[in-house]
Structures are given as C-alpha cells and as structure tokens.
Amino acid sequence: MYLSYQSKKQKGIGWLQNFRHILIRSVKLFLLGTGLQCIYAGKLVWELWNVLTQLSITTIIAYLIINQSVKVQILISLLLLIVTKALYRTVLMPGFSQPFTEYHTLGWLR
C-alpha cells in the first residue's frame, strides 16, 4: 500500500482522492467477503471473521495512518492490540466467556 500511495502521490493524486479509491475497494472487499459467508451458510449472515472482511477494515485503518510517523504508527498498532486483548478478556457473553479456550471467545461469536 505504501509503494502504491507514494507512486500516486508523485503523479499528483491527492490523499483524499486516493482515500475515496481505498473506500470503494474496501466496500467491495467487505461485500464480497460477506457475500461469500452468506453463500457458505445458505442464509444471510454478518460474520466478520473471514480474510476479505478483515482486510477491508484493516486497509482503511492502515491508510488513515499512512502519513503518520513510525512512532505514531507503532503506538496506534499497539493500542489496537491492547483494545482487542481487553475485549477478549472483558466481553463475557453466555457461551463465550472463556478467553483462553478455543471456540469460547469473543472471536468465535457469530
């Protein structure tokens, strides 16, 4: 993404114009990933655990911090990891309340 961004920047394509392109691509990835989950399940489902849906979200996050310093990017990455870890440990729902047991964590919630 960084190499593509730098190439477009040299061609005079601005951050906002490129962000629109990233948003459209992310929406397409999200819809494709969600659509595939619906086909596999045979019904309408909103499962965000497949690669395409996760890539759509992480692409937007990565692009939002692409112009930040390395320190800020590392800090935001660590913050996201801490928030994820905290959610896994604190969001206790019936059947999904064992943070270190496979199939019983927030990540398996469907």
DSSP string covering 51-89: HHHHHHHHHHHHHHTTTS-HHHHHHHHHHHHHHHHHHHH
Residue 61 has pLDDT above 80, yes or no: yes
Per-residue pLDDT tens digits for 2-39: 899 999 999 999 999 999 999 999 999 999 998 988 88
pLDDT of residue 107: 65
pTM of the model: 0.76
Domain locations along the chain: 1-67, 68-110
Is residue 67 over pLDDT 80? yes
